[in-house]
Amino acid sequence: MGTPMVTTTDAALAAGCGDRAGGFPKRLSAMLGAARGRITLLDARIRTMMAEPERGAATAEYAVVLVAATGFAGLLVALLKSDAVRGLLTNIVRQALNT
């Protein structure tokens, strides 16, 4: 078959640059460990936030809904008391009773 070809990468590894290649798994392992630590902290924060939602939020939401409903009811009363709407409703009822 012949002798294998020696590449520049093989020569560089033989000359001592292999330490850099050996350091990569260590750096990668350290980075993964740090990422796992951050993910664990993030998970703990999310679980803490979701464990007990704000108690006053429901009360505030009900208050907003009540204010909006009251405003809408006031608007409907004002519309129904207007002469134009009153005339339209009266005509609709008269037409329904005449047919």
Provide the CB-side half-sphere exposure for 74 (13 A, CA): 6
pLDDT for 91 equals 92
The tens digit of pLDDT for each residue in 25-74 reads: 888 888 888 888 888 888 888 888 777 666 666 778 888 999 999 999 99
Checking if the pLDDT of 7 tops 60, the result is no
Q: Rg of the chain's alpha carbons, rounded to an integer? A: 38
Instruction: Concatenate the DSSP letters of all residues of 54-97 into one string.
Output: -THHHHHHHHHHHHHHHHHHHHHHHHHHSHHHHHHHHHHHHHHH
The tens digit of pLDDT for each residue in 10-29 reads: 555 455 454 555 677 888 88
